[in-house]
Chain A
Amino acid sequence: MSASTRKRPLGLIAGLVLTGLLLAVALLSLVWTPASPTKMQILLKLKPPLVAGLLGTDQYGRDIASLLMVGAWNSLSIAFLSVLIGAGVGTALGLACAIKRAGIFATLVLRGCDVLFAIPPILSAMMLGAFIGPGRFTAIIAIGVFMIPVFTRIAFAAASRIWARDYIMAARACGKGAARISIEHVAPNIATPILVQVTIQLGLAILTEAGLSFLGLGLPPPAPTWGRMLAEAQTFLRPAPWLALLPGLAIALSVLGFNLIGDGFRDLLDPKAETGR
């Protein structure tokens, strides 16, 4: 038994390890993969793990380990960029709305968020894809736009609480304008809930990207994505179950990793949670 009464943030550590590994694999894929992810070797098709390559081969004889690695990079880069868009635009909108809570701007933006919430990202990706064709950009924009209302609401709620504080009144007494107060005082004080939400949304973004790829709305072939690997594996579920299991596992583990980090952050940074110890 440890002498320390503090509960160790095991979930957070597990999440950081999982995500760290995922990130390392994704970055490694940029410089090295066990085999070329696009090289087809029909003679070696549908080999189980360790028979040909570390994790076996798919229906075209491509190395699954290499596909998964490049898929990790595709997944992560799209997730990061779309969450960056969502968090950036959403937080800025939320901060702006909190300045005049009942103003026309705030009302329009917040009702706009309600509308955006009602449209699933798959649908907006299909519409966007129809205009500009499927691809990395389409996926990033579609997922990013879908993330905006979440961050707008969280930033708005947190910023509204901060605006009621005396130190905001003191800043106004120092002649600071609303924009300056938002940047210097409000934004740093809502960073914690935003950061927690970023990690949670990263998991969601990976899931959404996989969903888009599964439906053929993500990156076009031959770029490997976990979602499309899963979709193509359906045909071979009986003879080669690892084709579906491996990308499925990759998706599940990376979402789990981000969610563990998000929960861990929240427990670590929320002073109210400490009473439960």
Chain B
Amino acid sequence: MTPLLDIRNLSRDYARPGFFGKRERVSALRNVDLSLQPGEILGLVGESGSGKSTLARLAMALDDPSGGEVLFEGENLFALPAQALRQRRRHFQMVFQDPFGSLDPRHRVGRIVAEPLHLLSPRPSTAEAKTEVARILEAVGLPQDAVGRFPHEFSGGQRQRIALARALITRPKLVVADEPVSALDLSVQAQVLDLILDLNEKFGTAFLFISHDLDVVEYIADRVAVMRAGEIVEMGPAATVFSNPQHAYTRSLLAAQAVFTVPEMQD
């Protein structure tokens, strides 16, 4: 079975201007290999600055790699002509960490959610778009009157639902979610995670779920990849990685996590 997303030997360097015009090269991603099956939730964990978000942008073809390729359904996204890439975009969408920055404050929710619809061909009529928006708002658990309101009228959790609705309206095969619950309260986190699991089941959408929170990833992911300093150090089924970590870095991540779980167990 060909994987839905196949990342091969992907690297990304950034040029950072140093002193006296000398340019230093900083490597954000080094020879990363990663693949995702249709309908799968792959958790990507790692500390801040480990290259998770760089990987997310590259997987979405929003940035150009320094080397390697990203195959979506067997096609290298970076080799496609611009028009063809645009057409493919309906199949992979993105959800961002900050629910206050990822929605245009000047647009109403109906317009925000309908944003990717122009990628469909034939392009849906205004009436069709309206039905689609109504349907997806219901699927993410938002009231229908949200359509005419502005993002600032909603709470963080509701805004993340809006972002999910926008990402899912074209029925994509893959959603890249970059820390989608990190900015939310714990109780709201659980609601959004359950919603993602629910949508994964209902629409068969695969998720590349990026987080620094191991508990969250353990809860949601089928498989886990652990990143450190731009490289993937360990990958495997979630249960295996969390119960029997092979890499020293994974063990230290889990150990650091344990410190915070102990007081909860004493209650």
Contact = CB atoms under 8 A, between A and B. Distances in A.
B33 to A, nearest CB: 23
Contact of B101 (A166, A173, A175, A185): A166
B12 interface: no
13 contacts: A166-B101, A167-B101, A167-B103, A170-B163, A171-B115, A173-B62, A173-B116, A175-B87, A175-B116, A185-B104, A188-B106, A189-B104, A189-B105
Given A166-B102, A167-B103, A189-B104, A173 B93 contact: yes
Contacts of A167: 101-104
Contacts of A7: none
A174 B116 contact: yes
A169 interface: yes
Contacts of A185: 104, 106-107
A100 interface: no
A8 interface: no
B22 interface: no
A172 interface: yes
A78 to B, nearest CB: 32
A165 interface: yes
B15 to A, nearest CB: 12
Contacts of A172: 62
A174 B106 contact: no
Interface of B: 57, 60, 62, 85-87, 89-90, 93-94, 96-98, 101-107, 115-116, 118-119, 163, 166
B88 to A, nearest CB: 9
Contacts of A174: 89, 93, 115-116, 118-119
A171 B86 CA distance: 12
B38 to A, nearest CB: 20
Contacts of B93: 173-174
Interface string A150-194: 000000000000000111011111110000000001001100000
Given A185-B104, A188-B106, A175 B98 contact: no
Identify the interface centre among A172, A174, A175, A189: most chain B CB within 10 Å of its CB: A174
Identify the interface centre among A166, A169, A172, A189: most chain B CB within 10 Å of its CB: A166
B105 A169 contact: no
A255 B118 CA distance: 47
Contacts of B89: 173-175
A170 B102 contact: yes
Nearest to A165: B101
Nearest to B99: A166
A173 B104 contact: no
Contacts of B94: 169-170, 173
A166 to B, nearest CB: 4
A169 B119 contact: no
Nearest to B117: A174
Contacts of B62: 169, 172-173
A189 B101 contact: no
Given A166-B101, A169-B57, A174-B119, 20 more contacts: A165-B102, A167-B101, A167-B102, A167-B104, A169-B62, A169-B96, A170-B102, A170-B166, A171-B115, A173-B89, A174-B115, A174-B116, A174-B118, A175-B85, A175-B87, A175-B89, A185-B104, A185-B107, A188-B104, A189-B104
